Chain A
Amino acid sequence: MSARLTWATAGRVLSQVRHDPRTIAILILLPCLLLWLISWMFEGTPVLDQFGPLLLGLFPLVVMFIVTSVATLRERTSGTLERLMASPIGKGDVIAGYAVAFGLLAVVQAVVLTSFTVGVLGMNTRGSLGVIMLVAVLDAILGSTLGLAASALARTEFQAVQMMPVVLFPQLITCGLLIPRAAMPTVLEAISRVLPLTYGIDALQRLEVGATFTDVRDDVLVIVGFIALAVVVGATTLRRRTP
């Protein structure tokens, strides 16, 4: 792996996104639109204040997962991945390049979304806004690195598309969003502990009731760990030879 090739790949991915303004608009505006719909639907109730912070972490994660898996899927179908695998670039450079590019987009997305939800929709939280934004950004980066790992594991295009329900849905079910994890059957609670989204949601739930950075530091570290793990899984499972 080399920083130069990782950076060159990130730059190339960002150039591709830059040539497609509509994708940027969807990426940045869609989560804002969804939160606006929710705040409108539950106007006059405390739902936005209660669930808003969770959704700040959730929507970017899902959107970034899909965008990243489709982007790498395109790299596969266009034959450029095969070309790269036959060239002197490291597998880690390709994966890390994507992670850096989509990580930067994730930062923009999460910052815009958080500012919009607080500034325009008037969400009130007791926790620090900066820390909420940090967790939202990390969740978005987690989404894109999970998307990378999942599409690297996939052998065919069909498999790659199926990875969204395979990877995300179990996490959505067990992360504590539907019912508190303490109320779950023991086995499900144990499963939720090894899934990354659990820690993102846990951090946001704590922040919403006034936690500080120190309270959620462990959650943040676990998310960062999962991001690194996803990049490693993506880089090591990408195959130079295909059947």
Chain B
Amino acid sequence: MEPSITTTRSRQLRRISLALALVFACSLSATALAKETEAEKAARQAAAQEKLLQVFVSDPYLELSTGPGRGYPVFRVVERDASVDVLYRRTDWFKVRDEHGVEGWARARDMRRTKLADGTPFVFNLGDRDGFTSHDWEIGIGGGDYGGANLISAYGAFSLTDNMKVDLTLSQFLGNASNGYKAELGITHVIVPEWRLSPFLELGTGVVHIQPRRTIVLPNDRTDQTAYVGAGLRFYLTRRFFVRADYRWHTVFTSRDDNEELEEWKVLIACFF
């Protein structure tokens, strides 16, 4: 049976009205969303504004570059006694916003000569010798030898004091007889952190996972606990870099009758921050 014209029309009307309602609802929700996001944005900006540090230029002017690097052109200068808000820092550059809302990158060396609102100089850590002596974090990568196997190593350390650090080392070793991974948590004692070439002692424990290579007949993979004592040297290179070389003497607590003793040495290139 063919539908009557009225039913067809009413269906069309219903569809149109439905579609219109949908569009209306969508637009409403969209505007609501937009309003919300605008409000949120404003709130966020206000919150951010409160938290931002304001510094005053005390040099004749402060140069702003387009990017955080030497090569990027200077596109603006902020004159003496004007203020800038410090947004964030990347390496030795600060992203700042001036009083006109223009954002640019100022170099740390120049920012060091700005003043806070109370007239005191703006101080922050620079990557230099003092930073090598006293810092919070360090990370490094490198390689070496672990019981005759090639060693790839990465470490991170947190300084409890200038002398004492807690470090986590993750390594993979690749040898002729076996491959494996190890993770170690230890304490490092830097004897004289002020020295450029500075010796340290270390002590720690960890786990080692050894996978014998399939060409050699040996029991299955095994995971053992390990402990180590070690000593090493740190040498400050430049900026934030230093070299860290150490020797560790491991005892692997195997499930066999005898414990295994392994020697490890490695050289890492590291940085502090």
- Decide whether A and B are members of one complex: no
